[in-house]
Structure 1
Amino acid sequence: MISFGGRPAAKDLTARARIRDAALKHFAESGFSGATIREIAKTAGVSPGLVRHHFGSKEGLRRVCDTYVLEALHQFNDRVLQEEAPGDSPLTADDKRALDPFQRYLVSTLIEESEVAAPLFDEMVKMIDRWLVKADESRADPPMVDRTTRAALMVAQTMGIAAFHKHVSRVIGMDVLSDEGDQKVALAMLDIYSHNLISPEYAASAREGMAQTAPTSETSNDDTMERHSDD
């Protein structure tokens, strides 16, 4: 069972749980190919043999980590869905600390395209989609594209901060994965999302221009025929 009200100290975890948490850390930092059972065992305070005893192989250990992180996202998503309105119960500091290793692992998993990458990404899209339902209710204008597309792009943007955290941290002079850095990023995102970067008039004008240059089925067919004639 995964709890988002804080995690037990490492010494209070079972050996299996310590190995799993150590694997989350090393897979996130070094990637699956770069992490070794020996390093994972050292971090967990166990022998490499015990790692193999519990998980069989490094691949078996990754499958357990994948399942664990996916379950964590399911539980967090369920918690959001149970709220009367998104934002009624913001993440606590303990929640953020508990989610931090998952965030880093998610980035590594999505980049390396493991078997669970698709369901993990889909779960995050569902979570953002839930927030957009409420946001759309208070919009003065109708959305330009469907909610799923917007949710998928928002997930990609959010994960991009973690994926490029070294560069972002270097530019802003603060580790974005630290408590202080997380606070600064959160404030920056609040500022960005609460203020229009472009005016509604500019957006309408840009949309009209895109409509005029959008490819039609007729032009697409012509392009296809031209390519075939060149072959």
Structure 2
Amino acid sequence: MTGRRPRGRRPGTPDTRAEILDAALALFAERGFERATVREIARRADVDPAMVHHYFGTKDELLAAAIDLPMDPRQVTDLVQDGTLEEAEALLRTMLDLWAVPRVRRTMQALMRVGLSNEQAGEAVRELFAEQIARRIADAIGGPDAALRAGLVASQVVGLAYLRFVVRFAPVSDADRDVLVAAVAPTIHRYLSGDLGAPPPRGGGDGRHR
């Protein structure tokens, strides 16, 4: 009698849950939530579809588990206290390093794509950037325009990370991290503590002399 390996998908292991999550994140990022099926996720994780339901129940519950971010926003926001250029550099460097971690990158790729069409994921994106990051930065820098400043910082950092890690826009994705930090940090510094500028003049016309 030979010890032949049984046919079919492999049984569950202690790592099965994490492997299903990784497969789900990859497919949500590639295909979007609606188009990614439980069967495809199971195939990518090399498990029976029943294992997906065993660990997560429905696909919506799988999404909720998959977008539980493996990062603490305080890793980013605690760096901002005085609004200095050095803090702006540290903030940007830390954020780029976080997004470079494969698990974080896959999560953010999935969130950005799925959030456009799925209310639950969209709310997770808003919660992360509006509540967890922007609000903490606003609390740290204070002042009457703190919310605007924090929002501008978040838009700059997230926009850069989006182009580098999600869209993979070649000039940005190929650039050395320290080059990006040196180029973008002064703008973040101005958002944190510099002069945001006067509002544009009111009235018609294009500002050119006739």
TM (normalized to structure 2)?
0.61
Q: How far off its partner does 1:155 sit?
A: 5.7
Determine which of 145, 148, 153 is the counterpart of 1:146.
148
Shift of 1:59: 2.5
Query: 2: CA distance between counterparts of 1:79 and 1:144?
Result: 20
- The offset of 1:51, in angstroms, is 1.3
In structure 2, what is the equivalent of residue 225 of structure 1?
Answer: none
1:78 to 2:84 alignment: no
SS of 2:47's equivalent in the other structure is coil
Count of residue pairs brought into register by the alignment: 177
Letter in 2 for 1:187: V
Q: Specify the SS of the correspondent of 1:22.
A: helix
Q: Give the Å deviation of 1:33.
A: 1.7
Q: Contact conserved, 2:21 with 2:65, CA < 8 A, in 1?
A: yes
| Residue pairs, 1:124-139, within 5 angstroms | 124-125=129-130, 126-128=132-134, 130-131=136-137
Do 2:105 and 2:165's aligned partners in 1 also have CA atoms closer than 8 Å? no
1:1-231 superposed matches below 5 A: 14-66=15-67, 68-69=68-69, 72-73=70-71, 76-81=72-77, 87=90, 90=94, 96-125=101-130, 126-128=132-134, 130-131=136-137, 146-151=148-153, 153-154=155-156, 157-158=159-160, 160-161=162-163, 165-166=167-168, 168-169=169-170, 172=171, 176=173, 181=174, 184=176, 187-194=179-186, 204=197, 207=198, 210-213=200-203
- Give unmatched runs, 5+ long, in structure 1: 1-11, 197-202, 215-231
Q: Name the structure with the higher helix share.
A: 1
Indicate the SS of the match to 1:34.
coil
Following superposition, the deviation at residue 43 of structure 1 comes to: 1.9
- Report the TM-score, using the length of structure 1 for normalisation: 0.57
Contact 2:23/2:45 (<8 A) preserved: yes
C-alpha distance in 2 between matches for 1:41 and 1:105 = 17
C-alpha deviations, 1:122-170, integer Å up to 9, x for none?
A: 3223424545677x69xxxx9698334424533662464268615x13x
Cα gap change, 1:211 to 1:41, in 2 (>3 Å): same
Cα 1:94–1:113 shift into 2, 3 Å: closer
Over 3 Å counting, the alpha-carbon distance change for 1:162 and 1:115 in structure 2 is: farther
Amino acid at match of 1:46: V
Quote the RMSD (CA, aligned, Å): 4.2
SS in 2 for 1:212: coil
Tell me how far apart the structure 1 counterparts of residues 101 and 22 of structure 2 sit (CA, whole Å): 16
Higher relative contact order (CA 8 A, sep 6+): 2
Q: CA deviation at 1:212?
A: 2.5
Give unpaired runs (5+ residues) of structure 2. Answer: 1-12, 82-86, 189-195, 205-210
